[in-house]
């Protein structure tokens, strides 16, 4: 959530007025991500203080954005705790600010749990399954824009920046994922709208009570088990080493399956999807690290973290392959 585009209080107030959200009392730029411009916005409406998040989209186009915004509306309408985009008097939830597409959503209660315990992982697993079920009748479709096609395009771009060992790992894993994607088991995976980026900092808690999922701007239609694998790769690993944390992983899987049991192809390919999730985020972080954009508050993530995660996942697969 970097700041690429500066927004003045007067510009924000004008948009808030069009949305009937009250008068602006505070506007604060948000650091922490790398895709969009984000501001925390506080308003006073009919004597009540409200908190919102204003997003200006730096990469996504006005043609792509309705999928994300209406997905949030759809999920919110089914009781999933996600940000609800504010509409103008014509009912539009996609707006324009500083010549860029923009949205304003309610700010979720609670705070991120950056050192999750078993209970937090269980809460995420159960809500993720509910979200997948709630999205199955969503009537818009958009592919996962950071899926296999993007990996195939982007890995050659980052290869010149890698050591020989890194280049061998990323190339071999890309080949493996193309092989998996061509399999009958992969074709049988249940799919639909997924979050695709549900890391610790995109979930809010009050104690162990999950209060919301947010940052849906990497969402797309892909396999549900890939979404679960992305979660496991963040919530159920040791951050310093990238090593698997079995207790947290078990809690997340058990809670997920209590709501939506995995199919046999999903069980079969879950280890491959965890490798796929590590490859996806290693590739994107390499891209952001070596080919950065200017931003007023830009904090690119260390790409070596997901290199470590991928090496652990590959090693796990090698052990499993040689276990009778």
Q: Mean pLDDT per 10-residue run, the chain (324 residues)?
A: 82 95 94 78 95 92 93 97 96 95 96 96 98 98 96 97 98 98 98 98 95 94 98 95 95 98 98 98 94 59 93 91 74
Predicted pLDDT of residue 297? 42
Predicted pLDDT of residue 232? 98
Indicate the SS3 state at residue 285: helix
Residue 45 near residue 21, CB atoms below 8 Å: yes
Cα(197)–Cα(215) distance, integer angstroms: 8
Residue 120 near residue 198, CB atoms below 8 Å: no
**CATH topology for 9-106?**
Phosphorylase Kinase; domain 1 (3.30.200)
Predicted pLDDT of residue 33? 54
Give ∠ CA 107-232-205 in degrees, rounded to 5. Answer: 30
Predicted pLDDT of residue 286? 96
Predicted pLDDT of residue 296? 42
Longest distance between any two alpha carbons in the chain, whole Å: 68
Residue 108 near residue 214, CB atoms below 8 Å: yes
Predicted pLDDT of residue 73? 95
Domain limits, CATH 3.90.1200.10, in the chain:
118-321
Domain limits, CATH 3.30.200.20, in the chain:
9-106
- What is the 3-state secondary structure of 141-190? CCECCCCHHHHHHHHHHHHHHCCHHHHHHHHHHHHHHHHHHCCHHHHCCC
Burial class (CB in 10 A: 0-12, 13-18, 19+), 64: middle
- Give the distance, in angstroms, between the CA of residue 217 and the centroid of all CA atoms in the same chain: 7
Task: Report DSSP state, residue 5.
Answer: S
Indicate the SS3 state at residue 272: helix
Predicted pLDDT of residue 322? 73
Terminus-to-terminus CA distance in the chain, angstroms? 46
Predicted pLDDT of residue 299? 59
Residue 31 near residue 299, CB atoms below 8 Å: yes
Predicted pLDDT of residue 36? 87
Q: Which CATH class is domain 118-321?
A: alpha beta
């Amino acid at each position: 959530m970097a700041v690429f585009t500066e927004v003045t209080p007067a510009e924000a107030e004008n948009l808030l007025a069009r949305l009937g959200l009250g008068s602006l009392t505070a506007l604060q730029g948000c650091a922490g991500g790398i895709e969009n411009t984000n501001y925390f916005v506080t308003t006073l409406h009919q004597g009540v203080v409200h908190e919102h998040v204003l997003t200006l989209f730096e990469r996504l186009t006005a043609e792509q954005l309705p999928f994300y915004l209406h997905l949030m509306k759809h999920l919110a309408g089914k009781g999933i705790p996600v940000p609800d985009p504010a509409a103008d008097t014509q009912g539009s939830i996609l707006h324009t600010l500083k010549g860029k597409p923009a949205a304003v959503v309610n700010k979720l209660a609670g705070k991120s749990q950056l050192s999750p315990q078993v209970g937090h992982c269980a809460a995420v697993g159960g809500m993720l399954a509910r979200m997948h079920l709630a999205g199955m009748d969503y009537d818009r479709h958009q592919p996962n824009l950071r899926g296999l096609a993007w990996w195939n395009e982007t890995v050659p771009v980052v290869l010149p920046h890698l050591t020989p060992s890194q280049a061998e790992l990323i190339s071999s894993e890309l080949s493996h994922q193309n092989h998996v994607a061509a399999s009958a088991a992969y074709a049988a995976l249940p799919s639909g709208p997924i979050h695709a980026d549900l890391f610790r900092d995109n979930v809010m808690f009050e104690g162990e009570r999950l209060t919301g999922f947010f940052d849906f701007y990497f969402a797309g239609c892909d396999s549900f088990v890939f979404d679960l694998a992305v979660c496991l790769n963040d919530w159920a690993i040791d951050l310093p080493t990238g090593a698997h944390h079995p207790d947290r992983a078990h809690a997340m899987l058990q809670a997920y399956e209590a709501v939506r049991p995995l199919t046999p192809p999903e069980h079969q390919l879950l280890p491959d999807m965890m490798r796929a999730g590590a490859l996806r985020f290693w590739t994107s972080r390499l891209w952001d690290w070596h080919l950065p954009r200017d931003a007023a508050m830009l904090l690119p993530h260390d790409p070596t973290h997901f290199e470590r995660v991928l090496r652990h996942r590959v090693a796990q697969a090698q052990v499993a392959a040689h276990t009778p």
